[in-house]
Structure 1
Amino acid sequence: MLNDIEIIEEPDDSLKESYVRDVFFVAINCGKLLLESGAETYRIEDTMMRISNTYGISNPQVFVTPTVIIFSMNEHSLTQTVRIDERANDLGMVDVINNLSRDIARGLPIKSAIRKIEKIHDALVFPFWLMVLSGGMTAFMFLLLFDGSVADLPAAAFGGALGVFIMESILRFTRVKFFTEFFASFFIAVTSFLYVQYGPGLNMDLIIIAAVMPLVPGVLITNAIREMIRGHLLAGVMKGTEAMLTAFAIGAGVALIFMLI
């Protein structure tokens, strides 16, 4: 249990404006972090509404798309639109914000919530080397899952790590995602071809399939389906289209190698 939890009381009139702005700050930053981390739009709207209601703000209005948050506290003349340009799949961050939301529901004071938000903002993202290593390990495990040959394991692991390395490196210079997946899958296919053609590799297809798995937009596809089921048709269609284009880019990069050979 948190040591600084206390019962939330209605603030004095002299502190009312400051208090409302603090609640607005916490709610909209929680929503922003969730959207940047790939959370579903209905989860974001529900979290922001719950935070506002817990702190005594009535009639808040939230509208979220995969790229924009519009948040209003109508009775206090507060409205803000936040555009999200960079998004990723960070389920760890989603879990952190969910836990913060639960702490708020249990009575976390507004000032403590602000301090937690600031700490989350200052937290380090996963280091680059860890993401590359995770890509290699993921491809390694998928090749075992597909009952691949032991001789193909090094190529699958190297290809998975190479794909993540290329994708994350390009994203540091440009946010045009679909080119990153295209070039990553292209070089994965090149590596797999060379390993089978001039090395001990046995099954080029399985190596490529395992190595591109870290690039596959699995979370995006799942979220698109969940959005559609929950009735958020705009978000569902947008995420489904993004997943389709990402899958097309991956397939095009691999197909180009098969065309050349």
Structure 2
Amino acid sequence: MENKLPQTIEVIDLCLLAGKIMLQCGAETYRVEDTMTRIAASLGIPSSHSYVTPTGIIFSIDGTEPAKLIRIYDRTTDLYKVTVVNGISRKISSGEISANEAFKKLMDIEKANYTFPLYQQILAAAISSGCFLMMFLGQWKDFIPAIITGGLGFICFVYIHNLVKIKFFSEFMASVVIGLSAYILVSLGIGVQLDKIIIGSVMPLVPGLLITNAVRDLMAGHLVAGLSKGAEAFLTACAIGTGIAIVFAFY
């Protein structure tokens, strides 16, 4: 029993690390649980139990080993990390890598930063704002104003979020900046359709992945995770809408 215990603990730590990375990077709840269960089964633990919520993971196996808990404090969107962890899980299942090798790879993945540079994120948000404007049947004259407004809003969101670790407040202030910028551009005659400019500019802030994951988790039967993600998406939408409404109320 003493020889098997360290190996069992290593497997539990490996499963928890894989689940932590996936959950932090925007994976669905059922995908996290399925990946952890498959890794444990591939390493000789067929009977494992996991309970995943957006803020924590509980994992245990049948036997005398205690259950382990990991808290999740920061969540972002990095689907590349989710893909890489899934790839490691498949290699473990096929026997291509050992548990120790997989753990080292997951540690490297957790420390790695695969996000694009900030200027590229701002540029992408600005261009996508203009494209969303055209998708909502806006005029070409408003394309440049939407790019400017969307870029300013995303810059505000990033920098305020770095100062105040409250996502809803950052989104609220970003939507206020978007509303003010759009109103000023239209008042100066640079823009024409105020509503289309605002709609296109707030789209990079809309929690599309969060809404999708909430629906998929609810369909998979994970009611707690699905409802909590849905509530988070609802609060984000309220923050965006409130910021725009305040600008309209003053002007």
1:258 aligns to 2:241 (yes or no): no
Q: Verify: 1:47 aligned to 2:18, yes or no.
A: no
Name which of structure 1's ranges 100-109 and 62-71 shifts more when overlaid on structure 2.
Answer: 100-109
Partner residue, 2:63: 75
Which residue does 1:120 correspond to in 2?
109
2:239 corresponds to which of 241, 249, 255 = 249
CA–CA separation in structure 2 for the residues paired with 1:14 and 1:81:
23
**If the length of structure 1 is used for normalisation, what is the TM-score?**
0.90
Are 1:233 and 2:223 an aligned pair? yes
Q: Secondary structure at the match of 2:49?
A: strand
Question: Which residue of structure 1 lines up, in the alignment, with residue 100 of structure 2?
Answer: 111
1:98 and 1:165 map into 2 onto residues whose CA distance is 32
Give the superposition deviation at 1:41.
1.1
Q: Which residue of 2 aligns with 1:218?
A: 208
Match runs of 1:156-235 below 5 Å = 156-235=146-225
Offset of residue 78 of structure 1: 3.9
Tell me the SS of whatever aligns to 1:75.
coil
Distance 1:120 1:15 in 2: 29
| Alpha-carbon separation, structure 2, partners of 1:140 and 1:21 | 51
Structure 2 portions without partners, runs of 5+ = none
TM-score computed with the length of structure 2 as normaliser: 0.93
Q: Is the 8 A contact 2:145 2:190 kept in 1?
A: no
- C-alpha displacement at 1:168, in angstroms? 1.7
Q: Could you say what the CA RMSD is over the residues aligned between the two structures, in angstroms?
A: 1.6
Match of 2:128 in 1: 138
Say whether the 8 Å CA contact 1:62–1:71 is kept in structure 2.
yes
The match for 1:93 among 78, 81, 88 is 81
**Cα deviation digits, residues 102-130 of structure 1 (max 9, x gap):** 12111121122122112202211413222
Deviations 1:204-255 (Å, cap 9, x if unpaired)? 1111000000000111111111111111111111111111111011001011
Distance in 2, Cα, partners of 1:239 & 1:153: 33
Q: Alpha-carbon deviation of 1:22?
A: 2.4
Paired with 1:79 and 1:16, the residues of 2 have a C-alpha distance of: 17
Q: Which residue of 2 aligns with 1:20?
A: 8
Farther off after superposition, 74-83 or 100-109: 74-83
Q: Displacement, 1:137? A: 2.0
Cα drift, residue 66 of structure 1: 0.9
Pairwise CA distance, 1:174: 2.4
Shift of 1:14: 7.3
What SS class does the counterpart of residue 242 from structure 1 fall into?
helix
What 5-or-longer segments of structure 1 have no aligned partner? 1-12
Measure, in 2, the Cα distance between the counterparts of 1:128 and 1:15: 49
Contact 1:59 1:75 in 2 (8 A): no
Aligned residues between the structures? 249
Aligned residue type for 2:42: T
Give how far 1:76 is off.
Answer: 4.9
The Cα shift of 1:139 comes to 0.8
Counterpart CA distance in 1 for 2:93 and 2:100 is 14
- Structure 1 CA distance, aligned partners of 2:66 and 2:124? 43
**Which of the numbers 4, 26, 47 marks the counterpart of 1:59?**
47
Contact 1:37/1:87, CA 8 A, preserved across alignment: yes
